[in-house]
Chain A
Amino acid sequence: QQPVQSPQAVILREGEDAVINCSSSKALYSVHWYRQKHGEAPVFLMILLKGGEQMRHEKISASFNEKKQQSSLYLTASQLSYSGTYFCGTLGSNDYKLSFGAGTTVTVRA
């Protein structure tokens, strides 16, 4: 099953913070986060492993709650370059198949 992301979209001013949530109904081995800019392929941001630590990419960080099968992506002090669609991808503990949520569109304005 696909993970569920929220919110669907968020609009920020430069310097503001945002949180994107991702939840799954199945037991997870890992959570991946990707960002896709318009007309481009998704680009990897980070991976969170079961039992692993919170990860960080520039001022973007993420956490993974294994018990709740949830992950959150934190955009801190957002920059114009953070604009794009963020996808969480989940790898199940049983199938190791990477399934993606519907995405969260982030727009950062000056």
Chain B
Amino acid sequence: GAGVSQSPSNKVTEKGKDVELRCDPISGHTALYWYRQSLGQGLEFLIYFQGNSAPDKSGLPSDRFSAERTGGSVSTLTIQRTQQEDSAVYLCASQVLNTEAFFGQGTRLTVV
């Protein structure tokens, strides 16, 4: 595709439910990031995939959060047993190492 694609664009879920957020990076981009942005806040790093290396999960806030990247392409961020504090915009970005990072439009998650 022409850019980074994220789905869904909006997700409303009930507290305690699991959600899956999807990211389709730009073809050929070896690096993929997930960030979380709460209202009016900065970009909180969650997880980083680079090629076939083990992902850097140091930013995941709890063990309810997990992510995988299949075939070096599509990535899924899973949040289990969602809490109200998980409400935020989740942004995915991809890049070729140390070049411009391209961001998707994000998934706005609302936990009610």
A interface list, Cβ under 8 A from B: 2, 29-30, 32, 34, 40-44, 47, 49, 87, 89, 91, 95-103
A96 touches B104 (CB 8 A): no
Contacts of B97 in A (CB 8 A): 96
Cα-based distance from A99 to B101 in the complex (angstroms): 11
Contacts of A47 in B (CB 8 A): 98-100
Cα-based distance from A34 to B56 in the complex (angstroms): 22
Cα-based distance from A42 to B48 in the complex (angstroms): 17
B43 touches A42 (CB 8 A): yes
Assess A32 versus B101: contact at CB under 8 Å? Given A98-B33, A100-B45, A102-B42: yes
Count, chain B residues at interface, CB 8 A: 23
- Does chain A have a CB within 8 A of B21? no
| Closest partner residue, chain B, to A45 (CB atom) | B100
B99 touches A103 (CB 8 A): no
A87 touches B102 (CB 8 A): no
Assess A98 versus B106: contact at CB under 8 Å? Given A41-B91, A87-B42, A87-B43: no
- Does chain A have a CB within 8 A of B95? yes
A99 touches B45 (CB 8 A): yes
- Measured CB to CB, the closest approach of chain B to A79, in angstroms, equals 22
A-B interface contact total, Cβ < 8 Å: 54
- Does chain A have a CB within 8 A of B65? no
Q: Which of A29, A32, A41, A101 has the most CB of B within 10 A?
A: A41
Please list 30 pairs of residues, one from A and one from B, whose beta carbons are closer than 8 Å in the complex, sorted by A's number: A2-B42, A30-B98, A32-B100, A40-B105, A41-B104, A41-B106, A42-B43, A44-B100, A44-B102, A47-B98, A47-B99, A47-B100, A49-B98, A87-B42, A89-B43, A91-B98, A96-B50, A97-B45, A97-B48, A98-B31, A98-B33, A98-B45, A98-B93, A98-B95, A98-B101, A100-B43, A101-B42, A102-B41, A103-B42, A103-B43
Counting from the closest, the 8 A-B pairs by CB-CB distance are A102-B42, A41-B103, A100-B43, A44-B100, A103-B42, A97-B48, A42-B103, A41-B105
